[in-house]
């Protein structure tokens, strides 16, 4: 299939070409990272484009801005409708990534951001396939620690937060790994730069809690529910660094990464060095849901057409 080329973006309530969505160089978010974003996937199944957990993403979208008193000047319904309408306007008939974001606009160098500070909102989209190798990736523990709630709240999806992720990613790539894994401020496993992490030991799934600076990921919560329905227990608890080396399986979850197996950590193989059985089971169910083939989870899917 020929890749579609999105012609339009949504900007402050209007559908315009990307070249027309302009802001001042005095935009506050450019200077201080005062932006809020979400990432969603649209899955094309040859008949329709299915957006995965649209309402949950929009809810978190608004909540993230509340932490910093940044106002989203559109209702949840307006944002949801704009996302689906943008897909239709761009005639998206291929799996894609959708990025809504809002940010503080022209506000000088004033650090006193309030609910009354000027904001802009935008939505962009583009064709998107696999972020990582589906057969598995290598990962290395980063020397950079994950931001924590005592300094920079990690539960809010703020643009500025991801400078921490950039440092970890750069280090991981320099060291020859596909992805990094960050520890929290206590030295426990937290998450990857853009993904949550799960370990499997003796048939039981383990994932770090939000107190370990792990984002309350929507794909993460989906995986926990899928695993429970498949009969696997999932425990949220602190995970010492060493425990990851004892794991039978390790995988990442996220909108872009979906469910990605980690086959080695710090050069040490995970299990037999291949994608694990539980990982593959969960990934298969997740794929069926996203493609609209599993009616049990149809509440998670919003058809575009």
Strand pairing report for 258-265 and 204-207: unpaired
Which DSSP symbol is given to 18? G
Spatial contact of 266 and 259, defined as CB atoms under 8 Å apart: no
- Give the separation between CA 117 and CA 62, rounded to whole angstroms: 16
- Picking from 192, 191, 217, 162, the residue whose alpha carbon sits closest to that of residue 36 is 162
Which pLDDT band, with edges at 50, 70 and 90, does 2 fall under? low
Q: What is the pLDDT of residues 124-170, one digit of tens each?
A: 999 999 999 999 999 999 999 999 999 999 999 999 999 999 999 99
The pLDDT value recorded for residue 54 is 98
Q: What is the residue-wise DSSP string for 31-70?
A: HH--EEE--EEEEE-SS-EEEETHHHHHHHHHHHHHHTT-
pTM above 0.85? Answer: yes
The residue annotated as part of the active site, out of 2, 66, 157, 295, is: 157
Residue in the structure block whose two tokens are 């872009």: 256
Residue 77 CB neighbour total at 10 angstroms: 10
Mean pLDDT within 270-298: 97
Spatial contact of 209 and 237, defined as CB atoms under 8 Å apart: yes
- Picking from 284, 93, 300, 281, the residue whose alpha carbon sits closest to that of residue 200 is 281
- Picking from 150, 157, 300, 286, the residue whose alpha carbon sits closest to that of residue 230 is 286
**Residue 157 known to be catalytic:** yes
pLDDT value at 67 more than 60: yes
Residue in the structure block whose two tokens are 């080396």: 245
Spatial contact of 232 and 222, defined as CB atoms under 8 Å apart: no
pLDDT value at 1 more than 60: no
Q: What is the pLDDT of residues 221-273, one digit of tens each?
A: 999 999 999 999 899 999 999 999 999 999 999 999 999 999 999 999 999 99
The pLDDT value recorded for residue 4 is 84
Which DSSP symbol is given to 144? E
**How crowded is the C-beta side of 153, counted as CA atoms within 13 Å?**
12
Could you tell me the domains of the chain?
8-127 (3.30.470.10), 137-290 (3.20.10.10)
- Give the separation between CA 27 and CA 25, rounded to whole angstroms: 5
Q: What sign does the CA torsion over 289, 294, 298, 301 have?
A: positive
- Give the separation between CA 45 and CA 41, rounded to whole angstroms: 13
Q: What is the pLDDT of residues 11-50, one digit of tens each?
A: 999 999 999 999 999 999 999 999 999 999 999 999 999 9
Q: Could you tell me where the DSSP H helices lie in 28-186?
A: 28-32, 54-67, 76-89, 162-174
Three-state SS at 7: coil
- Give the separation between CA 144 and CA 215, rounded to whole angstroms: 17
- Give the separation between CA 293 and CA 78, rounded to whole angstroms: 28
């Amino acid at each position: 299939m020929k890749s579609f080329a999105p012609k339009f973006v949504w900007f402050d309530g209007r559908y315009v070409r990307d070249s027309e969505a302009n802001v001042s160089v005095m935009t506050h978010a450019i200077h201080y990272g005062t932006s809020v974003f979400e990432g969603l996937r649209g899955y094309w199944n040859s008949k329709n484009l299915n957006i995965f957990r649209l309402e949950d993403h929009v809810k978190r979208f608004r909540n993230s801005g509340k932490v910093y008193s940044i106002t989203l000047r559109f209702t949840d319904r307006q944002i949801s409708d704009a996302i689906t309408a943008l897909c239709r306007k761009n005639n998206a008939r291929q799996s894609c990534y959708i990025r809504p974001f809002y940010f503080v606009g022209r506000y000088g160098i004033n650090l006193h951001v309030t609910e009354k500070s000027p904001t802009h909102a935008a939505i962009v989209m583009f064709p998107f396939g696999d972020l990582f190798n589906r057969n598995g990736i290598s990962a290395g523990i980063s020397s950079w620690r994950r931001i924590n709630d005592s300094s920079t709240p990690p539960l809010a999806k703020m643009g500025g937060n991801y400078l921490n992720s950039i440092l970890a990613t750069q280090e991981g790539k320099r060291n020859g790994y596909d992805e990094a894994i960050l520890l929290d401020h206590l030295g426990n496993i937290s998450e990857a730069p853009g993904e949550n992490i799960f370990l499997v030991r003796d048939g039981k799934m383990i994932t770090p809690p939000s107190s370990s600076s792990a984002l309350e990921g929507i794909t993460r919560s989906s995986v926990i529910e899928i695993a429970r329905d498949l009969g696997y227990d999932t425990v949220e608890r602190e995970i010492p660094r060493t425990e990851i080396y004892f794991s039978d399986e390790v995988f990442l979850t996220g909108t872009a990464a979906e469910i990605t197996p980690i086959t080695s950590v710090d050069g040490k193989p995970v299990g037999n060095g291949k994608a694990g059985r539980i990982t593959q089971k969960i990934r298969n169910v997740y794929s069926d849901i996203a493609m609209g083939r599993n009616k049990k989870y149809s509440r998670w899917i919003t058809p575009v057409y």
